[in-house]
Chains A and B, each alone.
Chain A
Amino acid sequence: MSKNEYIGLKNVFVDGGVFDYINLDKSSAAYEKLTQAIDKPLKLILFFGKPGTGKTFLLQKIYNDFKKKKNIIFFPRPFFNEIEFLKALYFETFKEISPEFSGYDQFLSTVIEKLELSKKHKAITVLIDESQLYPNELIEKIRLLADSRKFKFLFTVHKTDDEDILAKDYFQTRIWETIELENSSYNEVKTYIEKKLIFHNKFEYLSLFKEKHFKLVMKLTQGNLRTINKLLFKLFEILEYYDVSSPSKINPRSLNTKFLIMAGISQGMINV
């Protein structure tokens, strides 16, 4: 095997490298729930889950699938400033450069007028990723925007263990629908790795991973997709090294668990 092959394999697991969406049981279930929630006359939807479970990927998927059929806007990056947010919302809504706004009230009256003129009566869905980074005042303003029924917002929030986002009062009082995305199960982890390899045309390496490897990956990552990416990226980086410096130590047809453990150690998933 040439050096390039491990670099190629490594790059399959670059986190968020390309949009290689895979249908996993949990992501499909969340997809269904989210699209149904979007169709319901709700103003606010909360979509949450631990970091790295695939929320952004799912939003991207929903956006790709509906951008042609529905009025839908996706904000993958957070805004920290109200005016910037409003201008971006204006631009995405009308696909034209936003005029200057003095503030929220002016924005709302301009937008309502313009929407009525263009006969857009259905609420525009706005997918907001990384909501936990928005300043509280801005979240308040977005809530008010939702009350106008011109927009409905899907807040995506990552839930860390030490912070219960659902307990925050602005989510408690207003959110009407909450949808959670959890870590993947053992079978999903298997499917994830296999389909990733297939998607990137690395099917010769499908047989590299055996049951014992999947089990170890599951144990080390608890089924977190981002953590799996990190672990496997390191694994192939290690193999890349051996392939260059001492190829006799590796067998391209079978994976020595040692290297997976070394990758786990280098990522702090195993403490020694």
Chain B
Amino acid sequence: MFSPSEIADLEKKYSKYYMKKVLKLFSIIFLSILIALPVGYYILIYNNTTNKKQDKKIINKNKNEIIKPKVLILPKKLYNTVLTKESNETNTTKKIKTSTLHEINKSDKNMSVNKIVQIETIKKKKEENTSNLSFHIEPSNDLSYKTSTRSLLKLNFSYSNEKNTPTKIAKVEEKNDTIKEVKLPIQKVSQKKKPRIKIEMQDIDSVRYLKDKFQNTHNIIFALMLCEEYYSQKNYRESLNWSMIANDIDNQSERSWIWFAKSKYRLGKPNDAKMALKAYLKSNESETIKSLLKKIENGSLDD
């Protein structure tokens, strides 16, 4: 095993590595702001002189630009933080976003849908008189939260949910609804042409995934993983059910006994749990089972 000094050294090196990364990120952000500021300033001036009478909110009418917002699914908590981040952006950036983001935010307030808005403004040739809008809903498995290239002209956020619980499936419908609601403000924004709305959805639910896997392989591992999944969702009936399926496949599987006992205990049947564990201990030696039994006996099971 490592010695404390070796770990301390590694920790130090890790901090150094981390600092370097953060510095790099900051310099990229700083540079892009440096570039973005004069460009943004120029655009503002240009807008003020040419479109004085135009509503400030309808910025994407600007002849030079096309705005493509992208909606991505993301855990609820993060959605909020992202939105607050959005509102902390510089004034110039805000102007572009308010037109779309604000409405989405409003219509979305009561929704439990988790989203992130990605806005990309791409410079285009002057011949284009209208703007195109498109929405994408795409789950992604990328867990890293990237904010590397942020500037007035290009805003990029991406995030995704790590684990989907069945409750989230139900929300798929809501997502659809939200998209419809989102649709309206956008039409307002670009009154002349209908926006092109593209919705792509794939929701990977871990329980369903595990069940499929189990169906195809009949491997005990997936039954045990389902126990764990359900147990962590406090669905003790299902975790009990799957522990029995797992036990059916291999009655020597220690984990299947553990999930059985834990689920029984949580369902208010500590005696069943104890009996099962004792039965297992009759023909097997296991410290884990013994300590679980002890915890159940004195009611100190806490996970």
- Show the binding face of A for B, using Cβ within 8 Å: 198, 203-204, 206-207, 210-212, 237-238, 240-242, 244-245, 258, 261-262, 265-266, 270, 272
- Chain B interface residue number, banded: 20 to 34
Looking at A198, A203, A204, the one whose CB has the most chain B CB atoms below 10 A away is A203
Q: Which of B11, B13, B143, B221 contacts A210 (CB 8 A)?
A: B143
Docked CA distance A212–B142 (Å): 7
CB of B162 within 8 Å of the partner chain: yes
**Cross-chain contact B221 with A244 (CB below 8 angstroms):** no
Interface residues of B in 1-31 (CB under 8 A from A): 1-2, 4, 6-7, 10-11, 13-14, 16-17, 20
- Show the binding face of B for A, using Cβ within 8 Å: 1-2, 4, 6-7, 10-11, 13-14, 16-17, 20, 141-144, 162, 221, 224-225, 228, 255
Docked CA distance A194–B255 (Å): 18
**Cross-chain contact B2 with A241 (CB below 8 angstroms):** yes
Docked CA distance A221–B6 (Å): 22
**Chain A residues with CB below 8 A from B7, complex form:** 238, 241-242, 245
Q: Which of B4, B16, B221, B225 contacts A272 (CB 8 A)?
A: B16
**Chain A residues with CB below 8 A from B144, complex form:** 212
Docked CA distance A241–B255 (Å): 26
**Chain A residues with CB below 8 A from B20, complex form:** 272
Q: Which of B4, B10, B16, B142 contacts A266 (CB 8 A)?
A: B10
Looking at A238, A258, A261, A272, the one whose CB has the most chain B CB atoms below 10 A away is A272
**Chain A residues with CB below 8 A from B141, complex form:** 211
Docked CA distance A207–B4 (Å): 29
- What's the nearest-Cβ distance from chain B to residue A231, in Å? 14
**What are 26 of the A-B contact pairs (CB < 8 Å)?**
A198-B221, A203-B221, A203-B225, A204-B224, A206-B221, A207-B225, A210-B143, A210-B162, A211-B141, A212-B142, A212-B143, A212-B144, A238-B10, A241-B2, A241-B7, A242-B7, A244-B1, A258-B14, A261-B14, A261-B17, A262-B10, A262-B14, A265-B17, A272-B13, A272-B16, A272-B20
